[in-house]
Amino acid sequence: MTRTLDPGGLAERSAALPPRLARIMRPELPSLAEEIVAEIRRAIPEYARPIDGPYGHVLRISVEHSLAAFVDRVAAPPGAPAVMSDGSAGTARMLGQYEAHEGRSMDSLQAAYRIGGQVAWRRVMKVAPRHDISSAVMSRLADALFVYLDELAALSLEGFLEARARPIPAMDDRRRRLLHRLVAEPGCDVAEAAEAAGWTVPAEVTLVAVEPEARCVWTALDADVLADLECAAPHLLVPGPFTPARRAMLDAAVPGRRVAVGLTMPPAQAADSLRWARQALSLALDGVFDDDPVVLCEENLVTLWLLSDPALVEQLTRRRLGILDGMTPGQQDRLTETLRTWLVTRGTAAEIAELLHIHPQTVRYRMRKIEQTFGEELDDPEARFGIEVALRAAFLRSRRPSPGPRRAAAVSHPAPPHLRRLK
């Protein structure tokens, strides 16, 4: 969908622009967008925030959308009405909403539009001489560009005024206090507090833990979400299950930050969902999971269980794997790697050899050594299960990167000595 703007204005002025202008301009857009974003962040302190945060993300997307939409306008057939795409209009409004939510006036955003126009025009002046563009065409192009910037500024003002007139539900203190009660007082009656906050208590909820110090794009949150993202352990509550639409909402609300999604539970068990989500987030920040910014507890239940009590896992490891203490670290690594693979796959020597990229005879030698070392414990189901648990926990811990600074503060569980040795 598109929005018609300034009929008879920009369309009339740009009608005489040669179509080749758009072809000349398009290759310049990626580097021009980077230059505009960098200049805005340099000149305006309010926008000099981390480029991977919400402000940086929306600023970059807004500049890219606006530049592309302007070139599309230039490329339009003569006489076509001037239009504003939903993408460009939406990001322009969102920038205005940000200013309102931050308690600022429109001055900084107006300055950003002026800087964007100046940088874009400098690029035009640099590129135009290479393509023999006349001064008359340059004049019409300048007119079209600054009319377009005026339209973007008007849309931002609309967003600014809308946000001032209608506060975001997720920022309501009553909803924040309601969320606190749900997770701090399991099973309490929240009907009265929910009614006061204008929130309907759902049959199920899903709690989400958010990486500390993440800034939120509040306008991207669904109206029924409860959020406390300004505390030391940011979190939010999503009514119902975690659907693809909710995933898209999270991507937009906390772009570039890690989050962990707890299990969907009745409201009385919201605290459990949040506890598991926070544990998963801590493990994600420790490097246990892959690089997906969203970790789902429901897909990692065994990992959460195995690593939920490091001290207990250490005791289990001492009892089941302490028999290896007399071996060198290299011997321990080889035997435990082979034993873990056998316990997981119950494969033949040839199958295990293929998985470990070694010779089947090497597997047979190691298995004889394992049988000699563990003896009857390998025939005892309970002992064998304990060995497998200890080895699986060690394997999960081994996925952590080398010690170093973490992206953000979170509860860390150092691997027990036995687990560190078995990596």
Look up residue 37 and give its two tokens.
Answer: 């974003």
pLDDT 10s digits, 8-50? 444 444 446 888 888 999 999 999 999 999 999 999 887 876 6
Nearest residue to 79 via CA among 22, 16, 133: 16
Greater model confidence, 407 or 61: 61
Q: Kindly state the percentage of the chain with pLDDT values over 90.
A: 29
Q: Tokens 């560009």 map to which residue?
A: 145
Please state which of the ranges 52-61, 114-123, 152-161 shows the lowest mean pLDDT.
52-61
Question: Is residue 148 assigned to a domain?
Answer: yes
Residue 6: pLDDT above 50?
A: no
118, 133, 165: which is the final residue of a domain?
A: 165
SS3 167: coil
Question: Is residue 356 assigned to a domain?
Answer: yes
Distance CA 106, CA 156 (A): 9
Look up residue 357 and give its two tokens.
Answer: 């990229």
Q: What is the pLDDT of residue 411?
A: 34
Compute the average pLDDT of residues 186-211.
91
Residue 98: pLDDT above 60?
A: yes
Q: Are 243 and 386 within one domain?
A: no
Q: Are 121 and 213 within one domain?
A: no
Distance CA 251, CA 169 (A): 19
pLDDT band for position 5 (50/70/90)? Answer: very low
Question: Is residue 75 assigned to a domain?
Answer: yes
State the pTM of this model.
0.54
Look up residue 162 and give its two tokens.
Answer: 């809308």
- Which residues partner with 261 through β-bridges? 208, 296
Question: Is residue 78 assigned to a domain?
Answer: yes
Nearest residue to 270 via CA among 197, 181, 199, 194: 181
Greater model confidence, 99 or 258: 258
Greater model confidence, 398 or 167: 398
Q: Are 336 and 358 within one domain?
A: yes
Question: Is residue 287 assigned to a domain?
Answer: no
Q: What is the pLDDT of residue 400?
A: 59
Q: What is the CATH number of the domain that holds 120?
A: 1.10.490
Q: Are 130 and 203 within one domain?
A: no
Are 286 and 412 contacting, i.e. CB atoms less than 8 angstroms apart?
Answer: yes
Question: Is residue 288 assigned to a domain?
Answer: no
Q: What is the pLDDT of residue 31?
A: 94
- Which residues partner with 208 through β-bridges? 236, 261
Q: Are 268 and 320 within one domain?
A: no
pLDDT 10s digits, 58-87? 788 889 989 998 998 888 876 666 666 666
114, 148, 165: which is the final residue of a domain?
A: 165
Which are the contacts of 362, defined by CB distance < 8 A and separation ≥ 6? 353
Q: Locate the DSSP E strands across 83-242.
A: 83-85, 205-210, 226-228, 235-239
Instruction: Report the mean per-residue pLDDT for the chain.
Output: 81
pLDDT 10s digits, 351-384? 888 888 989 888 898 888 888 888 888 888 888 8
Distance CA 181, CA 271 (A): 10
Question: Is residue 18 assigned to a domain?
Answer: yes
Q: What is the pLDDT of residue 319?
A: 78
Please state which of the ranges 183-192, 220-229, 388-397 shows the lowest mean pLDDT.
388-397
Domain span at residue 183 reads: 171-251+260-277
Q: Are 333 and 226 within one domain?
A: no
Q: Are 29 and 94 within one domain?
A: yes
Are 269 and 202 contacting, i.e. CB atoms less than 8 angstroms apart?
Answer: no
Greater model confidence, 242 or 388: 242
pLDDT 10s digits, 299-326? 988 888 888 887 887 887 777 788 788 7
Cβ–Cβ contacts within 10 Å for residue 80, how many? 12
Q: What is the CATH number of the domain that holds 314?
A: 1.10.10
Question: In the chain, how many domains are there?
Answer: 3
Q: What is the pLDDT of residue 119?
A: 94
Q: Are 321 and 415 within one domain?
A: yes
SS3 422: coil
Q: What is the pLDDT of residue 261?
A: 96
Strands, sheet with 226-228, edge to edge from the N-terminal-most edge strand: 226-228, 235-239, 205-210, 259-265, 294-296
Please state which of the ranges 83-87, 151-155, 331-335, 406-410 shows the lowest mean pLDDT.
406-410
Distance CA 325, CA 319 (A): 11
Nearest residue to 211 via CA among 3, 423, 410, 51: 410
Q: Are 94 and 239 within one domain?
A: no
Are 252 and 217 contacting, i.e. CB atoms less than 8 angstroms apart?
Answer: yes
Question: Is residue 289 assigned to a domain?
Answer: no
Q: Kindly state the percentage of the chain with pLDDT values over 70.
A: 84
Q: Are 197 and 114 within one domain?
A: no
